[in-house]
Structure 1
């Protein structure tokens, strides 16, 4: 199945026909105000589009009038819903288009597109429509989108004239070609959309998304905001996810790099990744009212380091040198903790007394890789002692086992998580190790449509710091490209919950 590209006007069709390999139809606009009803279609292409309902996804590409004050001639508007029919028509795959067009260097806006029976030219009428939240207005999109299966319509409109100006004025001769040129520049993305349209199965990995430590950290900030009111300061990102941070910022959290940036005496939350003791000392010097959101499993590693150092041991910290968790853990005893990143470093590291050595691990490592490094250290240092239990947290282990199972049964794995999330990176690496292509994406808008061409089974998981709604959003976006069947491979049920600190409990 391949989606259909519909261009209502001849000029739009001419702008795209030599740039697309996908079907591009000059559809016109039906004479009765709807497709596949009683009127005769204006073009042969429209008759094909208006065939049996629910047949193929449809993308309407063309020009439009701008309604938002921020729009400029040549800007693109991608509809998240198409208004003007009996009911608004959702466009589930629109985030894919928005992200792809922006990565192509185009100026893109995302929001409703309004369809009206006739051209809306008067500035006052444009402003009235703009108050509804619509970004652009045309006379065809809702009519043509109605031919697509539910959610599988898409609209890309290039702005010709802006909200405060009439269409029919001399400058239109300049603005019109500018809009059509923007439409031509969008052609590779339109082609990628058409190639990505297909029915497919989505296989969810279970467990996925938030772990107990992340839920606890987020709840601590939320409760602090509710109890003390904004602003509540947070040293570094509370968890490594841009969506979580943005949402908490909207609610009044202020994220800083160091406690020196926090006004004296303020409520300050320490992030889930843990901190070096020096940070607490610096906070005390500023009389900050600290609330510790360190994950209890990270705190356990800190405790192990202190215990080993008290014995006089050198501690090997297996982890990524610049990760915040590792920086904080090493800060417990900088002169006695040596970071070891991989088996090669483990084979070269040296210590003053090889009889007094211990090791701990960053909690978010890939299990297999971390164990390889630990094995090299054990072989080189027979006296090496380790933690009483595995440092790699239960959530990291469970999510890696789940994505491994999913990867064995899919053509592509998409991992939702931010670029600075260690555990999310490890999930993608585990999938690749199983021989499947995998990509780490912040959200659906980061998915490259080219990845989806010919892919019928997609595995989806999310790092421990990624909100569950991102998974739902991605599945909905995929359903905008064709019918989606969702299954799940679950390796374990998680029921762990950590207690909150007394300051917010």
Structure 2
């Protein structure tokens, strides 16, 4: 008896997807430090929010910690993650004479500098972001306690209690939903017409581009898989964007073994994208898993070209002494 033919499945692959320049720089920083100085290399916080990436670096000799207090006295490199850190962290590293390497994404550093400039000019800084996210903790930690007010939603803006005569400015987390943030920013500008805005959008190019690609694909497919980790803000936003764009089923999946086939069993079309901290190898793994069950055709849907590159921290560059 001939085996049953596999059902046909059209996979619409979003582009751009996956690693952004800041993530590439951060991962390369850990790998180059391991190559240049040997193991161990300590990393404060997950270098990027992806378990597959973190486990791979652990196998090469990286040791991940939540706080510097977990690190013994050492001459080994201590790397700060792409999300950025409060000023207290490099200060602690200096007091303990650690060999610290800052792998903060330059686009996050831009937000830090903006917040500092507004503060120096006497403005109260409002940060649009998600409470507890490492990037938000790092940005708020650039200024003294109480100098930054966090808002997450339009309702938070309505509830703000601020001094009438204090000038205001806002900055945003780099990995937010573009549409959600636009609504919060509009509410801020409506309530505080004189509020100072960033000179250039704080939401990073990669977040924007990945969301635009999902908006294009999501209404045209039966289901959408976002490859990424549950603690990745930009990956969670991609799932939300897919749902809002009209996709009947959108799920965040770390890797192929996490696919719930009871949900993805009867499809004709599938969209796939990946968060900015998810490696392409996991996208390929998921495509291969569908290829075992379906006769697949893969079509790439591209909405932008990306050529952004960030050099390694100076101490890790080939010409460093």
Q: TM-score range by the shorter chain?
A: over 0.9
Question: What TM-score do the two structures reach when normalised by structure 1?
Answer: 0.61
- 1:231: which partner in 2? 40
Q: Which residue does the alignment assign to 1:301?
A: 111
Written as runs of structure 1 = structure 2, the 5 A alignment for 1:51-70 is 51=2, 55-56=3-4
CA distance in 1, matches of 2:66, 2:109: 20
Give 2:243's aligned residue.
432
**Which of 263, 278, 282 is equivalent to 2:72?**
263
The answer for the alignment partner of 2:207 in structure 1 is 396
Residues 124 and 166 of structure 2 are in contact (CA less than 8 Å); yes or no, is this contact kept in structure 1? no
What's the counterpart of residue 129 of structure 1?
Answer: none
Root-mean-square deviation (Å): 1.1
1:414 counterpart SS class: strand
Which of 381, 405, 416 is the equivalent residue of 2:227? Answer: 416
> What is the CA-CA distance between 1:260 and the residue it aligns to?
1.2
What is the CA–CA distance in structure 1 between the aligned matches of 2:29 and 2:77, rounded to whole Å? 12
The answer to whether the 8 Å contact 1:304/1:387 transfers is yes
Q: In structure 1, how many angstroms separate the alpha carbons of the residues matched to 2:240 and 2:165?
A: 33
Cα deviation code 1:101-144 (max 9, x no counterpart): xxxxxxxxxxxxxxxxxxxxxxxxxxxxxxxxxxxxxxxxxxxx
How far does residue 302 in structure 1 lie from its aligned partner after superposition? 0.2
Partner of 1:141: none
TM-score (norm 2): 0.96
Which of 111, 121, 125 pairs up with 1:315? Answer: 125
| Superposition deviation, residue 312 in structure 1 | 1.2
User: What is aligned with 1:115?
Assistant: none
Q: How many residues in Structure 1 have an aligned counterpart in Structure 2?
A: 314
Of residues 437-446 and 347-356 in structure 1, the stretch that sits farther from structure 2 once superposed is 347-356
Change (3 A) 1:262 1:320: same
Higher Rg: 1
How far apart, CA to CA, are the structure 1 residues paired with 2:90 and 2:229? 27
Q: Secondary structure at the match of 2:314?
A: coil
Structure 1 distance, partners of 2:105, 2:161, is 31
Deviation at 1:56, TM superposition (A): 2.2
| Distance in structure 2 (CA, Å) of the matches to 1:354 and 1:459 | 50
The Cα shift of 1:450 comes to 1.2
Tell me the distance in 1 between the aligned counterparts of 2:187 and 2:229.
31
Counterpart secondary structure, 2:293: coil
Give how far 1:453 is off: 2.6
Whether the aligned pair in 1 keeps the contact of 2:37 and 2:76 (CA below 8 Å) is no
**Cα distance in 2 between the residues matched to 1:327 and 1:353:** 27
Secondary structure of 2:58's aligned partner? helix
Of 293, 299, 307, the residue aligned with 1:487 is 299
CA contact (8 A) 1:355 1:384 kept: no
Aligned to 1:248: 57
Matched ranges for 1:30-69 at <5 A: 48=1, 51=2, 55-56=3-4
- Determine helix, strand or coil for the equivalent of 2:263: helix
Distance 1:353 1:288 in 2: 44
Q: Which has the higher contact order (CA 8 A, sep 6+)?
A: 2
Aligned to 1:384: 195
Matching of residue 213 in structure 1 with residue 22 in structure 2 = yes
CA distance in 1, matches of 2:131, 2:164: 23
Q: How many angstroms apart in 1 are the aligned matches of 2:4 and 2:253?
A: 27
Residues 470-481 of structure 1 correspond to what in structure 2 (within 5 A)?
Answer: 470-481=282-293
Can you give the 5+ residue segments of structure 2 that lack an aligned partner in the other structure? none
Q: Which runs of 4+ in 1 moved over 4 A?
A: none
After TM superposition, the structure 1 = structure 2 runs for residues 37-436 of structure 1, keeping only pairs within 5 Å, are 48=1, 51=2, 55-56=3-4, 198-264=7-73, 265-333=75-143, 334-436=145-247
Query: 1:354 offset after TM fit, Å?
Result: 4.9
Cα distance in 2 between the residues matched to 1:378 and 1:266: 47
* Alpha-carbon distance between aligned partners in 1 of 2:66 and 2:88, rounded to the nearest angstrom: 14
Shift in Å, 1:429? 0.3
| 5+ residue gaps, structure 1 | 1-47, 58-196
Matched residues in 1 for 2:95 and 2:4: separation?
Answer: 65
In structure 2, the CA distance between the partners of 1:449 and 1:354, relative to structure 1 (3 Å rule), is farther
